[in-house]
Amino acid sequence: TEDRAGQRDYDLLVIGGGSGGLACAKEAAQLGRKVAVVDYVEPSPQGTRWGLGGTCVNVGCIPKKLMHQAALLGGLIQDAPHYGWEVAQPVPHDWRKMAEAVQNHVKSLNWGHRVQLQDRKVKYFNIKASFVDEHTVCGVAKGGKEILLSADHIIIATGGRPRYPMHIEGALEYGITSDDIFWLKESPGKTLVVGASYVALECAGFLTGIGLDTTVMIRSIPLRGFDQQMSSMVIEHMASHGTRFLRGCAPSRVRRLPDGHLQVTWEDCTTGKEDTGTFDTVLWAIGRVPDTRSLNLEKAGVDTSPDTQKILVDSREGTSVPHIYAIGDVVEGRPELTPTAIMAGRLLVQRLFGGSSDLMDYDNVPTTVFTPLEYGCVGLSEEEAVARHGQEHVEVYHAHYKPLEFTVAGRDASQCYVKMVCLREPPQLVLGLHFLGPNAGEVTQGFALGIKCGASYAQVMRTVGIHPTCSEEVVKLRISKRSGLDPTVTGCG
């Protein structure tokens, strides 16, 4: 490998074949550049491994949404008799069948990504890469042969992996994470989910929904960083629909009993009292760590945060080394979301090779938590809005509503709720939208465009609703928290 400018192997080398990395590679190849992608999946402590595509495709959004859908179908089967369908209840669920179908779909996506790279003449290396110097990485191929690759520009897009609580006895030996749950051949059975992240709540939600006895252990606050009123309603809904919660508790050890079950010991953080329970599976969902440890970043001179080990970048995704960039979950202070990494990657490559100067805008990025009752949001939480603008400058419009589909089925809609956080001064710019209810992702995506375009409360109120839908509840928000009126169900439905 010659390491003089102009004689390097590639114009662009991308480390990490996930959402962000693949988007960069494809974009650069389309702009006529010589591109390579290196991707390597370190097997999980339980031995789970997967193909090209990154977290989202293999152990994240895709299998998660499909298993969430499986759980939602269970609820619809319960609704069906109310609508005249003669369905013998209860209907059993077969984990094996679901898992196989989900895993087959994921494998088809792995294959699709490989084909796309080939079609675009992007060279793909399935090796674990580490820096040799600021323009070169090395890795060991399957046969043990060392490969050196050099490039003018390097993009780091290695993402993150689930965190294990190493201080807890038995955590690593007997626990699993989101890296494993979607690839289990057999049902996880009675499950303890430890954590209060969206990963914890989504997994607990679909496990409960397919009929498994599921408990969530939360040490402090649920959905940290999300709007706390919405978060507590998400938990309320889950608790009233069969998920058990252990609040203010922290696990201290996990042991395997002679019968194969797992005995978990935990402590009540307020009283200090110890308690135990028996489970088939313990799932850790206590956060993620950036996949930077094996990259040898110091060899290239790339700076990371001493607290999080994430890579520090500027507004152009540039690291401390001029031609090395980083995007996605591996970067400090960025939303850990697939579409953010994809857009940031494309824009970066267009700046590098396409003459563009457009920067990624990380404000008003919409997202949805796929809990049994979905929570979609875009913009600021109520807490953030108050912290940023002051209580007296913030107006919050809100309403409880009942989806029409819930009426005939006799479903509980007490947590179906929407709120819009606005500036108080006319025209009352919308700062944030929070929607709890069915299809929250579909609802939030549409309104995200309006908020991105600087929509005001007045403009939202002049938008005609589509009747009868849940989305129309957003354009009917007449009651503000300040007015003190009861935000009861509105409309003719």
301 is an annotated ligand-binding site residue: no
- Helix (H/G/I), strand (E/B), else coil: 474: helix
Side-chain half-sphere CA neighbours of 101 within 13 A? 11
**For residue 314, what are the contacts with CB-CB under 8 A and spacing of at least 6?**
none
DSSP letter string, 8-34: SSEEEEEE--SHHHHHHHHHHHHTT--
> Could you give the CA distance from residue 264 to residue 388 in angstroms, rounded to a whole number?
42
Q: 362 labelled as ligand-binding? A: no
* Buried residues in 317-335 as b, exposed as e (16+ CB within 10 A): bbbebebbbbbbbbbbebe
- Per the listing, tokens 């591109």 go with 35
Query: Quick one: which of 314, 25, 293 has its CA closest to 151?
Result: 25
Cα–Cα nearest to 295, from 435, 183, 100, 131: 131
Candidates 9, 266, 286; CA nearest to 149 is 9
Cα–Cα distance for residue pair 120/59, rounded to 1 Å: 26
Phi, psi of 346 (to 5 degrees): -60, -45
Total number of residues shown for the chain: 493
Residue 481 burial by Cβ neighbours in a 10 Å radius (0-12, 13-18, 19+) = middle
Is 65 annotated to bind ligand? yes
287 known member of a binding site:
yes
Quick count: other Cβ atoms within 10 Å of Cβ 300?
22
Residue type, 476: K
Phi and psi of 211, rounded to 5°?
Answer: 100, 15
493 in a known ligand binding site: no
Q: What is the CA radius of gyration of the chain?
A: 24
Q: φ, ψ for residue 35 (rounded to 5)?
A: -130, 145
Q: Give Dmax over CA atoms of the chain in angstroms.
A: 74
**Coil, strand or helix: which one is 82?**
helix
Sorted by sequence, the CB contacts under 8 Å of residue 181 that are 6+ apart come out as 59, 188, 203, 283
385 is in an annotated binding site: no
Task: Name residues whose C-beta falls within 8 Å of residue 270's C-beta, 6 or more positions apart in sequence.
Answer: 248
- Does 190 appear as a known binding residue? no
202 among annotated binding-site residues: yes
Indicate which residue of 135, 237, 323, 467 is catalytic.
Answer: 467
Task: Please indicate whether residue 323 is annotated as part of the active site.
Answer: no
Q: Is 260 annotated as a binding residue?
A: no
Half-sphere exposure of 344 (CA within 13 A, CB side): 31
Of 124, 155, 136, the residue nearest 4 (C-alpha): 136
- Residues flagged as binding site: 65, 195-202, 287, 329
Catalytic residues: 467
- Residues flagged as binding site for FAD: 65, 329
- Residues flagged as binding site for NAD(+): 195-202, 287
